[in-house]
Amino acid sequence: MMEEKKGGTSAGGVVLPFLLGFVAALAFGWWGVPQLLFSKKTQPLVFTHQNHIELYGMSCDDCHSFRRDGSFSGLPDNAKCAECHSFPMGDHPDEIKFVEEYYEKGIEVPWLVYQYQPDNVFFSHAAHREYDCATAGCHPDVGSSNELPVYYENRLTKYSRDTMKMKDCERCHATVAAQEPERFAGAPNACQTCHK
């Protein structure tokens, strides 16, 4: 009897709780923790890349350009936006908000940057300009999107969730440097290549 009872309950009595625990942990680990770890932030203004590109024929370079010294200007500042939007061009509330709350008051729009590099890294866009930003996997491809992605901020580290990981840099450096060692002699995986 004892044996049988044991054996009889072992299938349902052990496997099921184990499975339940297993699944609960998976759910918690894959879904719950990210919810807890990242706070969601939205950009201060809505912005559509798609309209700018498709309706107005602009290119990435028009705003995200390289300066004459080769440094990358990153996000456009108010002055750049005001080249067109120094007064509202339409009636979208955010457009009015840009003009009245930011441009006219001389306050730069506090855009959230998905991809700031940590302080201990030196990164030059100029050296990477041959790579397509989106397909190389460094950036979210916002170029054709109608809205800006949600910004996830890691509550612990305060970094954006989309901050590139060192392994991503390393992987690419290892492959390109290995493929064309002569052309990419400056891109080995030595620490000082990227770190200050």
Partner 1 sequence: MALNRRSFLTFAAGGVAGTLFTPVIWKSIDDSAIWTQNWPWIPRLEYGPRAYAATTCKLCPAGCGLNIRTAGGRPVAAEGRTDHPLSQGGICPLGAAAVQLLYAPARIKGPMQKQADGSHQPISWDEAEALLQEKLAEQKGRKDAVVCVSGDENGTINELFSALLGGLGSDGCFLMPGEQLVASKILREGSIGYDLENADFVLAFGADMLDSWGTAVRNKKAYGAAHPVGEEASAEYVYVGPTQNVTGGAADQWIAITPGMEGVLALGIAYHLLQGGMSAPQAHDFFAYRNFVINRYTPDYVERLTGVAPEQVAELARKLRTANKPLIIPGSTIAQGGGVFSFAAALSLNMLFDNVNSVGGIQVLPDLPKVVEGAKAQAQIRAKDLVAYVQGVADGKVSKPGVYLVYEANPLFALPQPDVAAKAFDGSYLVSFSTFYDETAVQADLLLPTPTFIERFDDVQTPYGSGFASYSLTRPVIRQPIFDTKPTGDVLLGVAKALDIDLGYDSFDKVLEAKVAALSELEGFFTDKVQPWEARAGKVPAAASGNLWRNISRGSFWASIQEPFPTAMQLGSTIISQTAPPDAEDWTFPVSLAAMDSRTYGSRHIAIPPFCLPLLGEQEIQGDVFYVWMNSATARAYGLQAEDKVKLAGPNGSCLAKVRIFEGVGRNMVAAPLGFGHTAWDKFSRNKGDNIYKVLTVRTEPGSNLAVWADSRVRIAKA
Site for partner 1, rule CB under 8 A: 12-14, 16-26, 28-30, 33, 37, 71, 77, 108, 116, 118-120, 154, 156-159
- Supply the minimum distance, in Å, between the C-beta of residue 46 and partner 1: 23
- Supply the minimum distance, in Å, between the C-beta of residue 160 and partner 1: 12
- Supply the minimum distance, in Å, between the C-beta of residue 32 and partner 1: 9
Residue nearer to partner 1 on the CB measure, 14 or 136: 14
- Supply the minimum distance, in Å, between the C-beta of residue 135 and partner 1: 25
- Supply the minimum distance, in Å, between the C-beta of residue 48 and partner 1: 24
Q: Name, in order, each residue with C-beta under 8 angstroms of 8's C-beta and a sequence gap of 6 or more.
A: none
Residue nearer to partner 1 on the CB measure, 22 or 87: 22
Residue nearer to partner 1 on the CB measure, 98 or 187: 98
Residue nearer to partner 1 on the CB measure, 160 or 187: 160
Query: Residue 193's closest CA among 97, 123, 136?
Result: 123
Residue nearer to partner 1 on the CB measure, 154 or 189: 154
Helix ranges (H only) for the chain are: 2-9, 16-27, 33-37, 49-50, 60-63, 78-85, 93-97, 166-179, 191-194
Using CA atoms, how far residue 78 sits from 64, 65, 85, in Å, is 13, 15, 9
Query: Residue 137's closest CA among 176, 104, 98?
Result: 176
CB 193 within 8 A of CB 187: yes
Residue nearer to partner 1 on the CB measure, 86 or 117: 117
DSSP codes, 149-185: PPEEEETTT--BTTPPPHHHHHHHHHHHHHHSTTTTT
Query: Residue 111's closest CA among 59, 41, 52?
Result: 41
- Supply the minimum distance, in Å, between the C-beta of residue 122 and partner 1: 10
